[in-house]
């Protein structure tokens, strides 16, 4: 009888802590996939960032759309069963502010390599784009 009680407690403990174990593995998997995305395909991250981050008149940035779309992209392209299970059954993911800072740093490094400047006027930007088209044989 005591063994049955011990087994029952163990099974209940296992299922009670299952969600937190899955969440830890899922977050680790998403962190790894985000890191790979930034290092292997920064262009897509930079494009999404520029299209979805807005700022108010005082320069305060609103990242909510970018965070939502980035998480959606990562979940849609993941191979982790833990990420898929957690997203469907247990809850939502969030991207912390320090991660956004790292993404912005990576985008700035990428832009510098491409000789892009936020202070370009429209004329300079047009020539910058034309040079990129020529460089990549798109014209």
Look at residue 23 in the predicted model and tell me its pLDDT: 83
Q: Contact, 52 vs 106, CB < 8 A?
A: no
Region 27-41 average pLDDT: 90
pLDDT tens-digit readout, 38-62 = 999 887 898 888 889 999 999 999 9
Region 117-134 average pLDDT: 74
Evaluate whether residue 61 is within a structural domain: yes
Look at residue 5 in the predicted model and tell me its pLDDT: 62
Evaluate whether residue 30 is within a structural domain: yes
Task: Identify the bridge partners of residue 55 per DSSP, sorted by sequence position.
Answer: 61
Q: Roughly how many angstroms between the first and final C-alpha of the chain, as a whole number?
A: 80
Q: Where are the beta strands (DSSP E) in 53-116?
A: 54-55, 61-62
* Maximum CA extent, the chain: 83
pLDDT of 8 > 90? The answer is no
Evaluate whether residue 67 is within a structural domain: yes
Evaluate whether residue 1 is within a structural domain: no
Look at residue 64 in the predicted model and tell me its pLDDT: 94
Cβ-based burial of 85 (10 A; exposed 0-12, middle 13-18, buried ≥19) = middle
Cβ-based burial of 46 (10 A; exposed 0-12, middle 13-18, buried ≥19) = buried
3-state secondary structure of 55: strand
Evaluate whether residue 4 is within a structural domain: no
The share of the chain scoring above pLDDT 90, in percent, equals: 27
Evaluate whether residue 100 is within a structural domain: yes
Look at residue 53 in the predicted model and tell me its pLDDT: 92
Evaluate whether residue 107 is within a structural domain: yes
The share of the chain scoring above pLDDT 70, in percent, equals: 79
Task: Identify the bridge partners of residue 54 per DSSP, sorted by sequence position.
Answer: 62
| Domain encompassing residue 41 | 23-135
Evaluate whether residue 76 is within a structural domain: yes
pLDDT tens-digit readout, 51-105 = 899 999 999 999 999 999 999 999 899 988 988 888 888 778 888 899 999 999 9
Domains: count for the chain: 1
Look at residue 62 in the predicted model and tell me its pLDDT: 96
């Amino acid at each position: 009888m005591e063994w049955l009680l011990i087994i029952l407690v163990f099974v209940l403990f296992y299922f009670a802590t299952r969600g937190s174990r899955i969440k830890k593995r899922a977050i680790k998997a998403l962190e790894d996939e985000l890191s790979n995305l930034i290092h292997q395909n920064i262009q897509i991250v930079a494009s999404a960032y520029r299209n979805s981050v807005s700022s108010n008149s005082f320069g305060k940035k609103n990242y909510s759309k970018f965070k939502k779309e980035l998480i959606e992209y990562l979940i849609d392209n993941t191979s982790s069963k833990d990420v898929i299970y957690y997203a469907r059954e247990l809850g939502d993911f969030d991207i912390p502010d320090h991660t956004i800072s790292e993404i912005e740093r990576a985008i700035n490094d990428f832009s510098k390599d491409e000789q892009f400047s936020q202070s370009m006027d429209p004329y300079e930007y047009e020539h910058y784009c034309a040079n990129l088209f020529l460089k990549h044989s798109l014209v």
